[in-house]
Amino acid sequence: MAEKLQFEITTPEGKIYSERVDEVILPTPNGEIGILPNHIPLVSLLSPGEVRIKVGSEETYLAVSGGFIEVRPDKILVLADTAEHADEIDEARAEAAKIKAQELANVKRTDAKEFAALTAKIEKEFARLKVVQRRRRRRNIPPPTGN
């Protein structure tokens, strides 16, 4: 039997994911990192983006908005601000939130703190859309139509 590693994602709301996996790909400020069993110990920031989890031939996708990563040879711990499974994301609402945040960022550039918050919001919505769109493509689900 091939080696696996324990992978856990926890948010302030509780544990979102906890399974033995073959590989995890996580977004960091320096790009994506792939983690396999027996990876060297590592601590990093988690960037807003897509988490890809591989177990055998199956892949699971989660959208995260940032946090921290701790990697040990046999375990990956992620403390995320938010984390959502693809099937929990409403694509139309995520698209609307992204557009609204982009509009606010274009209009309100008065203070650096507010601009940083809007930028983080845009990154979060991009991650959510990427995850839900990948799920839709894999399952051949047509995109939502406008109301």
Q: What is the pLDDT of residue 34?
A: 96
Q: Tokens 């919505």 appear where? A: 125
Residue 5 pLDDT: 95
> What pLDDT does residue 93 have?
76
pLDDT tens over the chain, length 147 residues: 569 999 999 999 999 999 999 999 999 999 999 999 999 999 999 999 899 999 999 999 999 988 999 999 999 999 999 998 878 877 777 777 777 777 766 665 566 777 677 677 777 777 777 777 776 666 665 555 554
Q: Is 48 left (phi over 0), alpha (psi -120 to 50) or beta?
A: beta
